[in-house]
Structures are given as C-alpha cells and as structure tokens.
Amino acid sequence: MYGIAFAVIVLIGSIWMVNPPAGWLPERYSPPEQKPNETAIDTSGAVNFTAKEMCRTPQFYLLWLTFIFSAGTGLMVIGCIKLFGIDALQASAGLSAEAAAAAAGTAMAWYAILNGLGRIVWGTLSDKLGRKMSIFLMCLFQGIIMLAFLKLGSTVIGLTIGACIIGFNFGGNFALFPAATADFFGNKNVGVNYGWMFTAYGVGGIVMPMTAGYFKDMAGGSGDPSAWSAPFLIGGVVCIVAAVISIMAKPTQRKAGAKPLVSKKITA
C-alpha cells in the first residue's frame, strides 16, 4: 500500500514539473562575480558527461566506492542499533530487556532526527569547504565514531550521542554525493548520472547490514555485546578508507584534449 501511494503521488506531482527556460535565474538573484585568475569547478554545463562516459572514468568508481562505504555503514547501524543497544545496555548498564529496548528505540528516533539535520548542515558546509573536503571530513568523523561505538553505546547517554552523530553523518551522504556527481561530471545529465551513482546505496544497504547480521548470528543468540565488535570495527575501517579515497579523487577530464571539468576562469 505504501508503494502504491508513492507511485500515485509521484506520478500526479510529475504532471506539473517542468524545466526552467535556458538562462533562467530566480528573481532578484545575481550570480557572484568570478575573481580574476580564480580556479573553480565548472558546473555551468559547458562540459558534461553522459552516463556511459562517466562510467568509463576512474573517478566514478572512486566516488561510488566511497558512497558504498559511507552509506552502508549508516544503514548497518539503522539495522542493528536496537539489537546492539539491548545487548550493550543489559550487559554494561544493568538495564532490564524492556528498559534497554526503550532506550535503544529512543536512540533510533534521535538518529532519524539528526539524519535530516545532517543533510542541511553538511550541504551548507560543502558550499564553504568544497565537496571533496566535506566528504573526507564526514567519512573520517564517521569512521572514528564507529570505532568508538561499542564502548560509547554501553550507557544510555552514550548510545544516544553515538546514534545522533552516526545519523548526522549518514544524512550528509544525500547532500554531498548528488552535488559531487554534478561537480565531477556536469549538471546537464546529473539526473541520470546520479541514478548510477546511487546504486552504491543499494550495494551498501545489502553488504553492510548483512555483515552485522552474520557476526550476530555467529554469536548463537548470545547477548554478549562483543558480538558487535567486528561489525563496528569493519564499519570504522571502511569509513576511514572512504575518507582516503575521497581526498585522492581528482577532477575528471575528457580524452583527446577536451575541456577538463576544472577550468581556469579569468574575468575581464
């Protein structure tokens, strides 16, 4: 029923969606002047990659892999935070199963709230710091928190704080990767290109939660929170790897001497 409702609402809403005319700008908006000799990423549409061209570049796979690790870790926590919270709070904080479940549910609610907030804040930061640096910082921060989450989640306050931080960083994926796709491969085809980039979310959503489930199943139903140490360690490491990959990614250039995505603009 949920899927049917979405299909109807989206299809009806799409009837009124149209592209703005060429050269359109919002009322009273003036584009900022480019400083002399300033180097900037050209997202004006002068250089645009088709999906096929994009998928032939190493930059696509670097961003794609970064997205898998970053989003997959957040999805893993969504899938296991209640089970982990129950195990950790019962073992370390001495809570009953019911109290631990309630505390873990509250942490999950805060995760969702900070998930939404993270999209706004990380998007704002990326306009100031740049997309690459923002992705680097988000992944690095997420990796550190994941490595500390086993210990952090042993108290109600720690579990809630950890959930908030992980949710906040997870939300940043949906602000940064669409914009990074446009920065690297142009604006014209970003709708199609980001569709390919977004397949990373599906891969991460299968691999990382299943990894956590595997280690929990290997514990044989034990409530020992140490069963979660391997998933959190893996999640932390892959996020740090994602941070390194993201900072290594360089702007894309066309073959045969075509214009690069990073160009030097000089005003008169």
User: Of the candidates 20, 40, 8, which has an alpha carbon nearest to the alpha carbon of residue 262?
Assistant: 40
- Number of compact structural domains in the chain: 1
With cut-offs at 50, 70 and 90, classify the pLDDT of residue 260: very low
Q: Which of 98-112, 226-240, 246-260 has the lowest mean pLDDT?
A: 246-260
Is 51 within the bounds of a domain?
no
Q: How far apart are CA 8 and CA 13, in angstroms?
A: 8
Residues listed for the chain: 268
Q: Which of 1-15, 72-86, 129-143, 250-264 has the lowest mean pLDDT?
A: 250-264
What's the pLDDT at 35?
55
Assess whether pLDDT exceeds 80 at residue 191. yes
Q: How far apart are CA 89 and CA 143, in angstroms?
A: 22
What's the pLDDT at 261?
42
Check: CB of residue 40 under 8 Å from CB of residue 34: yes
The region, left, alpha or beta by phi > 0 then psi within -120 to 50, assigned to residue 22 is: beta
Which CA distances in Å does 244 have to 41, 66, 89, 135, 227? 21, 9, 34, 10, 28
- Here the tokens at position 125 are 């930061």
CATH number of residue 224's parent domain: 1.20.1250.20
User: Of the candidates 169, 147, 154, which has an alpha carbon nearest to the alpha carbon of residue 78?
Assistant: 169
CB atoms within 10 A of CB 53: 17
Expressed as residue numbers, the domain containing 205 is 63-252
What average pLDDT does the segment 70-87 reach?
95
Is 204 within the bounds of a domain?
yes
Is 40 within the bounds of a domain?
no
Is 32 within the bounds of a domain?
no
pLDDT mean across residues, the chain: 88
- Highest mean pLDDT out of 18-22, 232-236, 255-259: 232-236
Ramachandran angles phi, psi of 79, nearest 5°: -75, -25
Is 49 within the bounds of a domain?
no
Which H/E stretch holds residue 263? strand 262-265
Q: How far apart are CA 91 and CA 110, in angstroms?
A: 22
Residue type, 130: G
Q: Which of 167-176, 186-195, 203-212, 258-267 has the lowest mean pLDDT?
A: 258-267
Is 162 within the bounds of a domain?
yes
- Here the tokens at position 171 are 């939300």
